[in-house]
Chains A and B, each alone.
Chain A
């Protein structure tokens, strides 16, 4: 199981500002290890953020995203006390879902 994400979600005016830090190797599949063998690709492919049953962000990622990725975005329609749920799935089928309660401004 992957390590938990670090999520912060706070009101910024009428929008919810979300910052997510994910723990992931994000291997490109182009690197070689000390013995010369290729390190297999291992990266997050899909990211989905939902709020009150609605998808507010959906992303398809590839190997150009850095290790331990950081995502920062805003969306409209959220209120303090409501939940934001973030999940990712990587190319090996591993997944992780975390949620956070929206804080005040």
Chain B
């Protein structure tokens, strides 16, 4: 039938026309996603967390009714500017390698007199239950915005942490036989629409590691690097990653080695 032939011709024509169209649509989508991210970044709600974090930093709190203003984040007591750019690092007073959040816990215990379990009671916020740690981490990180990450990685304990982190990063385990490297060891991988950074590639690592803590639009709150690791471990169905644990800090040291030199954009903004 001529009609069938006509239809076939039209369909072939449509198919031929639609092949470049799909490509263009994908490029457009990518561009639009970029544009969407830029628009969101103009009004990053992490600003609100930074402001609250600054208030918390200066407010006398805890059993000792002191502020955190004399907290030593690695550059001496009271120096906040640029401190985040040199974390994680070894601290002689606690004789261990600490990241931002673990160090904040130390200051809350030593300066403000909180019990360790109280200081770390509410690390991740939930609706109606804001977390001081998320706000404090946003504030401190924001004070290093624009600086280059320079985690020292010289002290024997820092080197040891890197080696532990390396083992953890590559070691497959759990019911899914997953490791960090399963998702973060190759360029161009993604989960649904989320691009996954290759964390041993300095290009990706510098861009991504330095953007945490970040406001997560889907969760309506700032999430910290500790939360990112906790969630990755949950997603891999590994045992729970304890807050500010040695293992979590070791992984951060491992990532920091590849991210060193990257410009700090934290607190960032993510889906």
Contacts of A67 in B (CB 8 A): 45, 220
Q: Is B47 part of the contact surface with A, judged by Cβ < 8 Å? A: yes
- Residues A33 and B127 in contact, CB atoms below 8 Å apart: yes
- Residues A3 and B48 in contact, CB atoms below 8 Å apart: yes
Q: Is B20 part of the contact surface with A, judged by Cβ < 8 Å? A: no
- Residues A23 and B48 in contact, CB atoms below 8 Å apart: yes
Our pick among B48, B128, B217, B220 for the contact of A6 (Cβ within 8 Å) is B48
Contacts of A72 in B (CB 8 A): 42-43
Q: Is A61 part of the contact surface with B, judged by Cβ < 8 Å? A: no
Q: Is B52 part of the contact surface with A, judged by Cβ < 8 Å? A: yes
Q: Is B51 part of the contact surface with A, judged by Cβ < 8 Å? A: yes
Our pick among A3, A25, A66 for the contact of B51 (Cβ within 8 Å) is A3
Cα–Cα distance between A52 and B61 once the two chains are bound (Å): 41
Our pick among A6, A33, A39 for the contact of B47 (Cβ within 8 Å) is A6
Interface hits, B35-70 → A, CB 8 Å: 42-45, 47-48, 51-52
A2 to chain B, nearest CB (A): 11
- Residues B45 and A70 in contact, CB atoms below 8 Å apart: yes
B12 to chain A, nearest CB (A): 44
Our pick among B45, B52, B220 for the contact of A21 (Cβ within 8 Å) is B45
Of all chain B residues, which has the CB nearest A23? B48
Cα–Cα distance between A7 and B96 once the two chains are bound (Å): 41
Q: Is A96 part of the contact surface with B, judged by Cβ < 8 Å? A: no
Q: Is A19 part of the contact surface with B, judged by Cβ < 8 Å? A: yes
Cα–Cα distance between A22 and B127 once the two chains are bound (Å): 17
Contacts of A3 in B (CB 8 A): 48, 51-52
Interface hits, A21-62 → B, CB 8 Å: 21, 23, 25, 31, 33, 39
- Residues B45 and A68 in contact, CB atoms below 8 Å apart: yes
Of all chain A residues, which has the CB nearest B50? A6
- Residues B127 and A21 in contact, CB atoms below 8 Å apart: no
Cα–Cα distance between A6 and B45 once the two chains are bound (Å): 9
Cα–Cα distance between A31 and B43 once the two chains are bound (Å): 25
Contacts of B128 in A (CB 8 A): 25, 33, 39
Our pick among B42, B45, B48 for the contact of A19 (Cβ within 8 Å) is B42
Cα–Cα distance between A72 and B127 once the two chains are bound (Å): 26
B57 to chain A, nearest CB (A): 15
- The proximity string for B residues 123-142 relative to A, scoring 1 for CB distances below 8 Å and 0 otherwise, is 00001100000000000000
Other A-B pairs, 18, CB within 8 Å; known A72-B42, A72-B43: A3-B48, A3-B52, A6-B47, A6-B51, A19-B43, A21-B44, A21-B45, A21-B47, A21-B48, A31-B127, A33-B128, A39-B127, A66-B217, A67-B220, A68-B220, A70-B42, A70-B43, A70-B45
10 A–B contacts from the bound complex (CB under 8 Å): A3-B48, A3-B51, A4-B51, A6-B47, A21-B43, A21-B47, A23-B45, A25-B127, A68-B220, A72-B42
Closest 8 CB pairs of A and B: A70-B43, A68-B45, A67-B220, A23-B48, A6-B47, A21-B43, A21-B47, A21-B45
